[in-house]
């Protein structure tokens, strides 16, 4: 079994400890050495799993003190992506931060008038879906696809398509979780998309990239309680 697979197993096992032991935000996890002993794995594997959990916003390392729970995956989130799938699904965010932020940057520089109209159309479709009781993930995906298409580089579309199955789970969960919260949460999601589109329309490359990174960062936070 490859190291990547072992890291996924350690990642999943740590999340299961958080859930099974009912650890709260701020609680300390067992030490690396203890986790390695519990899992029958090397400390290197456990350290890599903890690094990925920290990147995904679930744990937080504190120098000299160990790792602590930063957020707990919500039950609603786990309904869309079971614990065993979390390493792969949440791991797409690290790729999206690079891929989609740069896609938004290039779209702002390269988009044609027709492509801008298509992006605007997708934004309005997303707005209508979010304000209704419809699932809205298809409209969310279509807006992101049209931004990627506006890069005029098919390689971006191919890279995005490779992530679609996992991204769809995130989008489904994100809308469902947001609708279970106060109305301003859906409002914030909509404003984030508007900021991206406004920057692309203004041909503000840096603004578009920053808005996309902000949206993805906030979207990942919305998955947690």
Boundary (domain end) residue, out of 72, 95, 122: 72
- Asked whether residue 175 falls in the same domain as residue 93, the answer is yes
pLDDT 10s digits, 66-96: 999 999 888 899 999 999 999 999 999 999 9
- Whether 61 and 118 map to the same domain: the answer is no
Whole-angstrom Cα distance, residue 183 to residue 113?
33
Question: Cα(168)–Cα(135) distance, rounded to whole angstroms?
Answer: 11
Boundary-marking domain end, from 42, 72, 102: 72
Q: How far apart are the first and last CA of the chain?
A: 34
Mapped onto helix, strand or coil, the DSSP state of residue 55 is: helix
CB 70, CB 60: distance < 8 Å = yes
Q: Which of 186, 86, 78 is nearest to 131 (CA)?
A: 186
158 and 61 fall within a common domain: no
Same domain, 83 and 194: yes
pTM over 0.85: yes
Number of independent structural domains in the chain: 2
Range of the domain at 30: 3-72
Q: ∠36-70-41 over CA atoms, to 5°?
A: 10
Nearest to 197, CA basis, from 213, 206, 187, 208: 208
Report pLDDT digits (tens) over 153-164: 999 999 999 999
Residues 205 and 179 both lie in one domain: yes
Domain holding 138: CATH number? 1.20.120.530
- pLDDT digits (tens), the chain, 225 positions: 556 689 999 999 999 999 988 899 999 999 999 999 999 999 999 999 999 999 999 999 999 999 999 998 888 999 999 999 999 999 999 999 999 999 999 999 999 999 999 999 999 999 999 999 889 999 999 999 999 999 999 999 999 999 999 999 999 999 999 999 999 999 999 999 999 999 999 999 999 999 999 999 999 999 987
């Amino acid at each position: 079994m490859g190291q990547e697979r072992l890291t996924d197993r350690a990642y999943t096992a740590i999340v299961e400890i958080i859930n099974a032991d009912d650890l709260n935000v701020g609680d300390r996890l067992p030490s690396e050495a203890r986790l390695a002993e519990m899992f029958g794995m090397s400390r290197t594997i456990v350290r890599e799993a903890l690094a990925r959990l920290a990147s995904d916003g679930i744990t937080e390392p504190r120098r000299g003190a160990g790792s602590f729970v930063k957020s707990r995956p919500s039950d609603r989130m786990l309904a869309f992506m079971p614990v065993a799938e979390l390493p792969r699904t949440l791991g797409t965010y690290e790729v999206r931060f690079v891929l989609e932020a740069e896609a938004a940057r290039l779209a702002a520089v390269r988009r044609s008038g027709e492509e801008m109209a298509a992006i605007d159309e997708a934004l309005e479709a997303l707005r209508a879906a979010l304000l209704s009781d419809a699932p809205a993930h298809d409209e969310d995906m279509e807006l992101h696809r049209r931004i990627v298409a506006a890069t005029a580089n098919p390689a971006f579309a191919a890279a995005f398509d490779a992530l679609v199955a996992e991204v769809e789970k995130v989008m489904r969960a994100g809308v469902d979780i947001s609708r279970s919260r106060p109305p301003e949460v859906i409002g914030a999601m909509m404003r984030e998309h508007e900021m991206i589109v406004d920057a692309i329309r203004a041909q503000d490359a840096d603004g578009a990239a920053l808005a996309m990174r902000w949206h993805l960062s906030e979207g990942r936070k919305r998955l947690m309680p």
